[in-house]
Amino acid sequence: MSVSAKNRQPALGFTIVELIIALLLGVVILTAAVSFLITHLRTLEGSDIRESVDRNARYIGVLLRRDIQAAGIDIESTTHFGTVAVWPGSNGDTLMMLYVPYVPNPTPIHDIDTAIVTQPPPGDGTCTPLDRCLSVLKVDTATFDLSDRHLARLQVAGTRRLVIVESFAVSGCCSVDVTFTGADTLFHQPAGLADLQVELNGTYIQKLTPLIYYVDDQERLIRAQRLNLDGTPDGDIVAYGVETFELMLVFADGDVLEEANAYDMDDSNDYDDIVAVRVRVTVKADRADPRVNDGKLLRRTVEWQVSPRNLRYEKNRLNN
Please write the tens of the pLDDT for every residue from 259-304: 999 889 899 999 999 999 999 999 999 888 777 777 889 899 999 9
The least confident of 169-173, 174-178, 235-239, 313-317 is 313-317
Residue 4 lies in a domain: no
Residue 37 belongs to some domain of the structure = no
Report yes or no on 2 lying in a domain.
no
Catalogue the E-assigned strands of the chain. 84-88, 93-99, 109-111, 133-137, 151-156, 159-171, 175-180, 185-186, 189-190, 203-215, 221-227, 233-239, 242-251, 256-257, 274-284, 299-306
Residue-wise pLDDT tens digits, 207-251: 999 999 999 999 999 999 999 999 999 999 999 999 999 999 999
Residue 137 resides in a domain: yes
Number of domains in the chain: 1
**What pTM was computed for the model?**
0.83
Q: Residue 162: inside a domain, yes or no?
A: yes
**192 vs 287: which has the higher pLDDT:** 192
Q: Is residue 169 part of a domain?
A: yes
Residue 17 lies in a domain: no
Give the pLDDT confidence of 48-65 residue by residue, as tens digits. Answer: 788 888 899 999 999 999
Biggest alpha carbon–alpha carbon distance for the chain: 140
Q: What percent of the chain has pLDDT over 90?
A: 58
Which span out of 73-77, 102-106, 230-234, 314-318 was modeled with the highest average pLDDT? 230-234
Domain that residue 169 falls in: 54-319
Could you tell me if residue 278 is inside a domain? yes
